[in-house]
Chain A
Amino acid sequence: SQQGEEDPQALSIQEGENATMNCSYKTSINNLQWYRQNSGRGLVHLILIRSNEREKHSGRLRVTLDTSKKSSSLLITASRAADTASYFCATWALTGNTPLVFGKGTRLSVIA
């Protein structure tokens, strides 16, 4: 399975601190995506990084990708209470029809 696995499963930090979440996967990928899910809501796309990219930024988000280690990290800087949510990584396989596969997520709590 190419399923991504996020680490840690849960993370609790103080407002203003940085939050780092990691994702590992098993097969070669076309791209890796990060999504956020607020409680009781659908997933919202945050950022996509392609296999030939190593780092990408979007506002307070920074994503890195290391294809040699089959891993990615999501950094949220200067966290806010509103960042409290579950964060999922998802991967598209490089070949075949295998669709986007999601990990089980990291639950982030930002305490004001």
Chain B
Amino acid sequence: DAGVIQSPRHEVTEMGQEVTLRCKPISGHDYLFWYRQTMMRGLELLIYFNNNVPIDDSGMPEDRFSAKMPNASFSTLKIQPSEPRDSAVYFCASSLASGRTDTQYFGPGTRLTVL
């Protein structure tokens, strides 16, 4: 298996622009997680899905952030409009249906820079 795939790997955009990050989880994994990592705040969970349904989005910082999972093999995280403070590395992770308590497999991340 190719592992969790994220695209793009790097994104540079200007303040106010819409940004869309993409994730393909490992086939057969029923849980998908979106994280944001910064030096100041560490690794923060933004939202997670189970069987394509959002379970907990309490970590989404504000209404500018939205996430969707239209099918088992694809998820997006959208920021509209983007702001410089959104600059971070965004990770997607997935885990098996055997339990949300199980191991998470992380993608390589998308490094977002908002100018």
Contacts and interface: CB of A to CB of B under 8 A. Distances in A.
12 contacts: A41-B108, A41-B109, A42-B91, A42-B107, A43-B43, A43-B93, A45-B104, A45-B105, A97-B56, A99-B100, A100-B45, A100-B104
A99 B48 contact: yes
A43 B43 CA distance: 10
Contacts of B100: 92, 99-100
A30 interface: yes
A99 B33 contact: yes
Tier of interface size on chain A: 20 to 34
Interface of A: 30-31, 33, 35, 41-45, 48, 88, 92, 97, 99-105
A99 B45 CA distance: 8
Interface of B: 4, 33, 35, 42-43, 45, 48, 55-56, 91, 93, 100-109
A33 B106 CA distance: 14
Nearest to A29: B101
Interface of A, secondary structure class, is: strand
Contacts of A45: 103-105
Contacts of B108: 41-42
Nearest to A47: B103
Contacts of A33: 103
B30 to A, nearest CB: 14
A35 B43 CA distance: 12
A45 B96 CA distance: 14
Closest 4 CB pairs of A and B: A42-B106, A104-B42, A102-B43, A92-B101
